[in-house]
A and B are shown apart, each in its own frame.
Chain A
Amino acid sequence: MTEPDQAITKRPTGITGLDWMTHGGLPAAGGTLVLGRPASGKTVLTLQIIAQALARDEAAVFVSFEESRAQVLRDAASFSWGQRLAEHPGFELIDARPSQGAQVSGEFDLGGLLAGIEHCVQRTRAEWLILDGIDQLLYRHRDPFVAIEQVHRVSDWSEERGLTLLLTGKLDQNALAPKHLEGVEFLLPSVMLLSTTLIESRLARRFRIAKYRGSAHTADEVPMLIDTDGVHFPYTEEDSSTIRVERASQERLSTGIDRLDEVLDGGLYRASTTLISGQPGTAKTTLCGSFAAAATARGERVLYLSFDEIQAPVIRNLASVGIELGAPIEAGLLRFVTREAWSSLLETHYHALVRGIEELEPACRIIDPISALFKAAGPDDAKIAIERLLSKTRASGITTVLTSLNSDDDPGSEETLSHASTLADTWLTLGFNVVGGERNRSLSVVKSRGTAHSNQVRELILADGGLDLADVYEYGTEVLMGTARLQKENEEALNQRLRALEDTQRRQDLERRIETAEAEAARLRIELQAQQEEQRARETLSEQQQRDVVRRRQAAAPMSEETPAQGVRERSEGNHR
C-alpha cells in the first residue's frame, strides 16, 4: 500500500496512469487539492480512487458539500465500480450540504465537521478522506483568509491522523484556485488541475499535476477519458504497462501471398510494422485480409481495427477473392472492431485500441486505415498518437500492419498522410497502372529493413483463388501489366515456340544432310573398292600376258649367247621401262 522506501510516503490510487504520473500515488498523509471546472471529472476521479481503495479493503469517508447522498450514489452507479461504493461497509458518505437559505454572522470553522468525521473515521478505520466541493461551504466566509485557514486546518488534521485527504473545488477559466480561496494551492503539498475544452463540438478533458511537493511527477498536461470503467489516462497507461522486447525477432511471418513472401525474403518479421499505402481500390484491405488469414491459420490471434468499414461487407468482399475470415472470427482468433473516425476524440480511439490489445492479447494487429486518425478531433497531433501506438506495439512484440490512404490531392505520389512511413519497417505501395485503357493494380516494396528486396513494380492480381503477384514484363522503358502483359507474354511464348521450331527444322536438315553425305561416302567407298579390284585384275592379266609372250618366244626362237632366261629378263625389263 505505501512506499516506505521513498522520501515521501505515498498511497496508490489504483488508477494506473495516475499512479504512474505521481510515481506511486498520492501523499499518504496530507492533502491533495483537485480543482477543475464543472463536468471536468473531479468527483468521478475521487469516487474511483475510493472504489479502488475499497477493493483493497481500505476504508474511506466521502463528505459531499454539493450533492446529496442519493445523487452521489446514483452518479457512481453509472460506472462499473459504482456498486462497490453502495455496498462496502468501509465506505461512509456524509451529506454536508449547507442548509438552504443559511446566513452568516461572524466567523465559523470546520470544527464540528471534523468532530463528525473523527467519529466516522474511528468507526470505519478509514484511511481516505474526500471533501468534495468544500468551496461551496467556505465561500460563505466573509474573510477569504479565514476560509483558507480552514483548509489548512483540515489538511493538518488529516496528516496527524495519517489520512490521505482529497479536497475538490471548482475553478473559473484559467484560474488556479477556487473563487474566494485564492492562495489555497500554496498550502497543500499536491495540486491537480482538470480542465475541459470543446474540440469540434466534442468535450475533451485534460489533467495536469500542477504541484507535488517532495516527489518527482509528470508535469505535462495529458488527456483524460471517462467511460463506463471510470477515468483513464491513455497516453500514460501505455507507458506503465509496456513490456520491453529486448531482441529483434528473426522469425518471418507469411503475408498469405507466396510470391510476396518470396519478394520479402520469407515474409514480414515478427513484431515489425508494415505500412501499406495506396489510393482507394488498390486492394489494401485485401492485403490485410490475406495477412489476417495467414496469421489465424497459424493459430495466432489478430485484432483488426477498421475505421469506417463495418465487418459484414469487408468479410464478404474478402471471401470473393478466396480469403475466408468468417471461421477465424467465430473461433475467436480474429476480432474485427469498427470505429468511426470522426465520432470520437483522438485519445478515445487510442484508448479503445489499447484496451482491445489488452483484452485479446493478439500476436498481430491491423489498423485499416491509420490515416483515418487524422479525421479524429483532438488538440494533439495525430502523428504523435500514431508514434505512441507503434512504439507500444513494437515494444510488446505485436506484428502490426497499417494501411494509409494516399492524399486525393496527390494520387500518384508515394508519400502518405501518415509519417508512419518513417517508422514502419516495411513499406508497400499499391497503385494503378493504366495502359491501353486498362487499369491494373501494382505493388512495389519501397523499403523493408533487414531484407534484401527488389524495387521492381509488380502486378497485384486479384482472382477467385486469392491474391498473387506477377513478375513484371519490361518493354523498353515501360512495365507492362494486365492485358498488355498477357499479350506480350503470349507473343514471347509464340516467339519462343517459333525459335524452337526453327531449331528443330535446322537440326533435322543437318541430320538429313549428314545422312546424304554418309550415303555418298558409302557409294564412293564401293566405287573405290571396285576400282581397286579392277586394277588388280588388270595387273594380273598383264602379268599373265607377259608370261604367255615369254613362253611363246621361248618356243619359237633359236638358242642365243644369252641364256633364254637372260633374254626374257632383258625383254621383260625393257617392257617395264
Chain B
Amino acid sequence: MTTPSAIEAARVESGKRPQLILFTTGDAPRSRRARANLAEALRRFGQDPEMTQEIDLVQDPAQTFAYGIFATPALLRISDGEGAEVLYGDLSEPQTLERFLMAD
C-alpha cells in the first residue's frame, strides 16, 4: 500500500521521536472517549498529552485522504525506522493502547 504523503512528511519531521496523531470526528461520543483515554494513558506513562496532534476530519476532511484514515477515531503513530502504525477505535482497551504506545 502506498504510504499517504502526509505520513511521509510527518516521518521526516519526527526524527527519532514517535509522533502521535489522533484523528477524530468532532465531538462524536467515540471521539470524546478516544481523547480522554489517550490523555489518561499518556499521563500514566509520563508523557505530555499536549504533544499529541489532533486532526478533526469533520473540520478538515481532506486530511482523510492525505493520511488514508477512514475509520475513526484512529491513533496514528509515526516513528523513524518503524514507519506508521494505526490503532483504530476509541482506545477503550487499555492494554492494547499501552502496547501500542510502548512499542519502539
User: Interface residues, chain A, CB within 8 Å of chain B?
Assistant: 63, 68, 94-113, 115-116, 118-119, 137, 140
* A112→B87 contact, CB < 8 A: no
Q: How far is the CB of B37 from chain A (nearest CB, A)?
A: 8
Q: How far is the CA of A106 from the CA of B34 in the complex (A)?
A: 9
Q: How far is the CB of A355 from chain B (nearest CB, A)?
A: 40
* B100→A108 contact, CB < 8 A: no
Of the stretches B10-18, B46-54, B67-75, the one at the interface is B67-75
Q: How far is the CA of A105 from the CA of B2 in the complex (A)?
A: 24
Closest to B94 in A: A105
Enumerate 28 A-B pairs (CB-CB under 8 Å) in ascending A order: A68-B2, A94-B65, A95-B1, A95-B68, A96-B68, A98-B86, A99-B1, A99-B68, A102-B85, A102-B86, A102-B88, A103-B96, A105-B91, A105-B92, A106-B90, A106-B91, A106-B92, A108-B71, A108-B90, A109-B28, A109-B30, A110-B71, A111-B25, A111-B28, A112-B57, A112-B72, A112-B74, A116-B64
* A113→B92 contact, CB < 8 A: no
Q: How far is the CA of A103 from the CA of B97 in the complex (A)?
A: 9
Count of A-B residue pairs with CB < 8 Å: 114
Q: Which of B57, B69, B89 contacts A107 (CB 8 A)?
A: B89
Residues of A within 8 A of B57 (CB): 111-112, 115-116
Q: Which of A99, A106, A115, A119 contacts B86 (CB 8 A)?
A: A99
Using A111-B57, A115-B58 as known contacts, list a sample of 6 further A-B pairs with CB atoms less than 8 Å apart, ordered by residue number in A.
Answer: A100-B1, A103-B96, A105-B100, A106-B34, A112-B71, A113-B71
Q: Count residues of chain B with CB under 8 A from any CB of chain A.
A: 36
Q: How far is the CB of B100 from chain A (nearest CB, A)?
A: 6
Q: How far is the CA of A497 from the CA of B77 in the complex (A)?
A: 115
* A104→B70 contact, CB < 8 A: no
Q: Which of B2, B30, B70, B85 contacts A101 (CB 8 A)?
A: B85
* A112→B25 contact, CB < 8 A: yes
Contacts A106-B33, A111-B72 given; indicate if A119 touches B89 (C-beta within 8 A): no
Residues of A within 8 A of B71 (CB): 98, 108-110, 112-113, 137, 140
Q: How far is the CA of A109 from the CA of B74 in the complex (A)?
A: 10
* B2→A113 contact, CB < 8 A: no
* A97→B90 contact, CB < 8 A: no
Residues of B within 8 A of A68 (CB): 1-2
Q: How far is the CA of A115 from the CA of B58 in the complex (A)?
A: 6
Contacts A68-B1, A102-B85, A112-B74 given; indicate if A107 touches B65 (C-beta within 8 A): no
- Please list the 7 inter-chain residue pairs (A to B) with the smallest Cβ-Cβ separation, ordered nearest first: A116-B64, A106-B92, A112-B72, A111-B25, A106-B89, A119-B61, A106-B90
Residues of B within 8 A of A115 (CB): 25, 57-58, 61, 64
* A99→B85 contact, CB < 8 A: yes
Q: How far is the CA of A514 from the CA of B34 in the complex (A)?
A: 140
Q: How far is the CB of B29 from chain A (nearest CB, A)?
A: 9
Residues of A within 8 A of B104 (CB): none
Q: How far is the CB of A133 from chain B (nearest CB, A)?
A: 12
Q: How far is the CB of B93 from chain A (nearest CB, A)?
A: 4
Residues of A within 8 A of B42 (CB): none
Contacts A111-B57, A116-B57, A119-B64 given; indicate if A105 touches B87 (C-beta within 8 A): yes
Q: Which of B28, B61, B96 contacts A105 (CB 8 A)?
A: B96
Q: How far is the CB of B104 from chain A (nearest CB, A)?
A: 15
Q: How far is the CB of B71 from chain A (nearest CB, A)?
A: 5
Residues of B within 8 A of A104 (CB): 87-89, 96
Closest to A140 in B: B88
CB contacts under 8 Å to A, within B26-42, are 28, 30-31, 33-34, 37
Q: How far is the CA of A97 from the CA of B96 in the complex (A)?
A: 22
Residues of B within 8 A of A96 (CB): 68, 70
Closest to A94 in B: B65
Highest count of chain A CB atoms <10 Å: which of B2, B30, B69, B88 = B88
Q: Which of A105, A106, A113, A118 contacts B70 (CB 8 A)?
A: A113
Residues of A within 8 A of B92 (CB): 105-107
Closest to A118 in B: B61
Highest count of chain A CB atoms <10 Å: which of B58, B64, B65, B69 = B64
Residues of B within 8 A of A103 (CB): 85-88, 96, 100
Q: How far is the CB of A63 from chain B (nearest CB, A)?
A: 8
Q: How far is the CB of B67 from chain A (nearest CB, A)?
A: 10
Q: How far is the CB of B101 from chain A (nearest CB, A)?
A: 11
B62 at the interface (CB under 8 A from A): yes
Residues of B within 8 A of A63 (CB): 70
Residues of B within 8 A of A98 (CB): 70-71, 86, 88
Closest to B56 in A: A115
Highest count of chain A CB atoms <10 Å: which of B71, B74, B90 = B71
Q: How far is the CA of A98 from the CA of B1 in the complex (A)?
A: 9
Residues of A within 8 A of B97 (CB): 105
Q: How far is the CB of B84 from chain A (nearest CB, A)?
A: 7
* B30→A112 contact, CB < 8 A: no
Q: How far is the CB of A156 from chain B (nearest CB, A)?
A: 15
Q: How far is the CA of A85 from the CA of B28 in the complex (A)?
A: 35
Residues of A within 8 A of B31 (CB): 111
Residues of B within 8 A of A94 (CB): 65, 70
Residues of A within 8 A of B87 (CB): 102-105
Residues of A within 8 A of B25 (CB): 109, 111-112, 115
Q: How far is the CA of A333 from the CA of B89 in the complex (A)?
A: 67
Residues of A within 8 A of B28 (CB): 109, 111
Q: How far is the CB of B51 from chain A (nearest CB, A)?
A: 20
Closest to B58 in A: A115
Q: How far is the CA of A113 from the CA of B34 in the complex (A)?
A: 17
Residues of B within 8 A of A105 (CB): 87-93, 96-97, 100
Q: How far is the CA of A42 from the CA of B43 in the complex (A)?
A: 48
* B88→A108 contact, CB < 8 A: yes
